[in-house]
Amino acid sequence: MASRELSPWAPGGSPEPTGDPYAGSYHGPWGPPAAPPPVSDDLLRQLPPPVAGPVPSPSGVQRPALVTLALTLAVTASLLWVCALSLFGLVALAGIRAMSPVGEDGVVFHTLDQFVLRMGDGLWVPLYGFPVASIVTGFMLLVRRPWARLAHSAVGVVSLGWAGWWLRDSLLAWVVVAVYVGTAVAVLWAPAVGRWYAGRPHPPQAPRQLTG
């Protein structure tokens, strides 16, 4: 009885395994891809050891916390002063209209009236001007310019000088203001802040074109 050869795709048939896994595929004229050589222990020992070093920050040099502290002290105190002064001015205007200059309300009336008159004579200029200037120069501290630190410090020194003249009859009140403003200005002159301002990166210069 003649034997028949079963096809690999016929039922019950299976392809015969081959020793070369790339025998049934085409790889071009260069043949099958070569396997990478194994890495030996001697080769790993010849590699240089990893060197530990500082990882550069992606955002550049970090701003010192003292700059943020100076900005916070200046802006917070200035905004509170402006809001309180404006509220007291509205109360004073309403009080002199509702109270009588004589009688039991006479003392309060004259106090509020004197405040309104002095504000109208120009007292509002320094009382509002110094806080607003402190807010503006405080935010300028973030631009990392040396002149911003000088401008903010100058505003603080001039405001302390004017406050000393205005509060010459109340030394304790001036001392409280001087301690607060002095602290907000003094932190800007710490060595870390100076190095941060001195290390400001300069913008790249445009290449010069030679004209001939």
Number of domains the chain contains: 1
Query: Does 147 fall in a domain?
Result: yes
Q: What is the mean predicted confidence (pLDDT) over 149-165?
A: 95
pLDDT at 58: 45
Angle 127-77-144 from CA coordinates, rounded to 5°: 105
Query: Does 108 fall in a domain?
Result: yes
CA 109, CA 96: separation in Å to the nearest integer?
A: 6
Nearest to 115 by CA among 135, 150, 89: 89
Distances in Å between the Cα of 18 and the Cα atoms of 22, 27, 31, 63 are: 9, 17, 17, 68
Average pLDDT over the chain reads 80
pLDDT at 57: 47
Contact present, 110 and 102 (Cβ < 8 Å)? no
pLDDT at 140: 95
Distances in Å between the Cα of 144 and the Cα atoms of 30, 118, 150 are: 62, 39, 12
* Percent of the chain's residues with pLDDT above 70: 71
CA 120, CA 100: separation in Å to the nearest integer?
A: 21
Distances in Å between the Cα of 95 and the Cα atoms of 86, 107, 166 are: 14, 12, 24
pLDDT at 30: 62
Please say if the pLDDT value at position 206 is more than 90. no
Q: What is the mean predicted confidence (pLDDT) over 109-119?
A: 87
Query: Does 176 fall in a domain?
Result: yes
Place 212 in a pLDDT band, splitting at 50, 70 and 90: very low
Query: Does 27 fall in a domain?
Result: no
Place 109 in a pLDDT band, splitting at 50, 70 and 90: confident
Query: Does 96 fall in a domain?
Result: yes
Please say if the pLDDT value at position 54 is more than 70. no
Q: DSSP code of 1?
A: -
Expressed as residue numbers, the domain containing 115 is 65-198
Query: Does 35 fall in a domain?
Result: no
* Percent of the chain's residues with pLDDT above 90: 44
Query: Does 166 fall in a domain?
Result: yes
Nearest to 197 by CA among 63, 78, 77: 63
pLDDT at 46: 74
Query: Does 163 fall in a domain?
Result: yes
Contact present, 73 and 206 (Cβ < 8 Å)? no
